[in-house]
Amino acid sequence: MQSPEYLSKAYRNKGVYYYYGAEYSKSLDNYLIAKGYAKKGSEIYYNINSCIGLLKLELEDYPEALKLLLSYREYLEKNGLTNSINYEKCLYNLAYAYHVSNKMDSSNYYVKRGFEQNLKSKDKDLYASLSLVSGINIFKQGDYNRALPILDEASKLFKQNPNNVQNIALAEYYIGKVLYHTNNAKFLNSFEKVDSIITKTKNVSYELRNTYPILIDHYKKTGDKEKQLFYIEHLLSVDSILSKNNKVLTTEINKKYDTPLLLKEKEVLISDLSSKNYTLFWILGIAGGVMIYLIYVYKENKKKLKNYQSKADLLTEDSVAPDSIEIVEPQKEKPKVTLSNAKLEQLSRQLNEFEIEKRFLDKKINLELLSKEFNTNRAYLSRSVNELKGQNFSQYLNALRIQYIVNELKTNKNLQKLTIAAIADEAGYNNVESFTNAFKKITDTLPSYFIKALQGDKK
């Protein structure tokens, strides 16, 4: 008699086989049988969940897919299994999942970690797979010249293994995309290879579907109606396959995985509540307290938002000059060094030039850098800002930037149309959070409210 773990792995492998053949319903059935044999909390249990996560990717349910994949990665790391081939596969799956959900930074992070693991394993298939995702990410970032050789290498490695036909299709698709974007007519060869694989295997993803609109548009422009009709028919066939697969998988995964999971959680809750009825009263009491607290927070928040709107409306008035805004900041620093009148006058002139030239918009500017430019030291410059501006250097810099951007927003309607991140960049800030905090502290309102007020939106 076979052990439960052996049976679990066998059915898991069968599910993987059906997954690569795009027979998702059969794949899910085998994963669920495998999960039934798996010991809860074991490595195979989390591994099967990650396989179900890849099925979730096909449905574009990215949050749930990533949740299952990340849970498997955490299990492997927590249990010291980071040298296993499964850990490297998990890193690749995460790189791929973040790629299809268009989170390039996260995808590149896991690609890098995957390559580090691959230096130990020397697994060629995983190296090719990681190279593929790396090449795709580089393409998406617009570096076509660097992406092409990486994708070419991945395609050649995949062709050494006949089981990698879907990865060959994906590699050729992105090679075609690079060539298409660089106006190289050879993109047709790559796209025709993709079509050939899809036609032969009947296995297609939403990503590969994008091959056909490009081919149809190309032959429409060249006046080749036969080719145009040929690929329209193929696109209709592909859409039919995708629609069927998506519908079947959605139904099956809801019926066989999601719903039973929810019912199981429901049973656990009912069992727990029936044995501990008194907890219900605690829950109700806590819920009541939370509700009262939320009502209080809501009212306070409403007052705060009303205040933001009021301050924003006031700030739009021409009679309120940007440099007259009251700056709500801590007390100025206590003197640490003594300045001569001559030195103070010199630094005053230099600071005036600094303001006139709008050097405060330089994101790299800081007390250390400016003191070197002024041929003085940090202590002297800090003291002079205190004496001349009544603020410490950080307060002074924030005041200049906010006063500048307030005035610019008033006079430049195009600037008002930009995102807060872009406006923060214009004001010399490295991130939205720093900009918003400074804007709020100085004007007592938020950038979004000020922009709405300028645009006449009083809602």
Domain ranges of the chain: 333-390
User: Is residue 192 helix, strand or coil?
Assistant: helix
For 39, what's the count of Cα atoms within 13 Å in the CB-facing half-sphere?
Answer: 6
Q: By percentage, how much of the chain surpasses pLDDT 70?
A: 86
Determine contact, residues 313/305, Cβ cutoff 8 Å.
no
Which residue, chain included where needed, has tokens 């994906």?
A: 170
Give the tokens for residue 328.
Answer: 């709500």
Question: What number of other Cβ atoms are within 10 A of residue 273's Cβ?
Answer: 12
Distance in angstroms (rounded) separating the CA atoms of residues 129 and 126: 5
Distance in angstroms (rounded) separating the CA atoms of residues 119 and 114: 9
Residues 6+ apart with CB under 8 A from 459: 452
pLDDT at position 322 is 45
Determine contact, residues 404/325, Cβ cutoff 8 Å.
no
- Taking alpha carbons only, the member of 145, 152, 150 closest to residue 168 is 152
Q: Is the dihedral of CA 70, 76, 77, 83 positive or negative?
A: negative
**What parts of the chain have a pLDDT lower than 50?**
273, 319-336, 458-459
Determine contact, residues 37/4, Cβ cutoff 8 Å.
yes
pLDDT at position 456 is 79
Q: Mind giving me the DSSP string for 329-393?
A: -PPPPPP-S---HHHHHHHHHHHHHHHHTTGGG-TT--HHHHHHHTTS-HHHHHHHHHHHHSS-H
Number of H helices, E strands in the chain: 23, 0
Question: What number of other Cβ atoms are within 10 A of residue 9's Cβ?
Answer: 17
Q: What is the largest CA-CA distance in the chain?
A: 96
Distance in angstroms (rounded) separating the CA atoms of residues 452 and 459: 9
Give the tokens for residue 199.
Answer: 């036609």
pLDDT at position 143 is 92
Question: What number of other Cβ atoms are within 10 A of residue 271's Cβ?
Answer: 10
User: Is residue 101 helix, strand or coil?
Assistant: coil
pLDDT at position 332 is 44
pLDDT at position 178 is 92
Distance in angstroms (rounded) separating the CA atoms of residues 428 and 399: 12
Distance in angstroms (rounded) separating the CA atoms of residues 348 and 353: 9
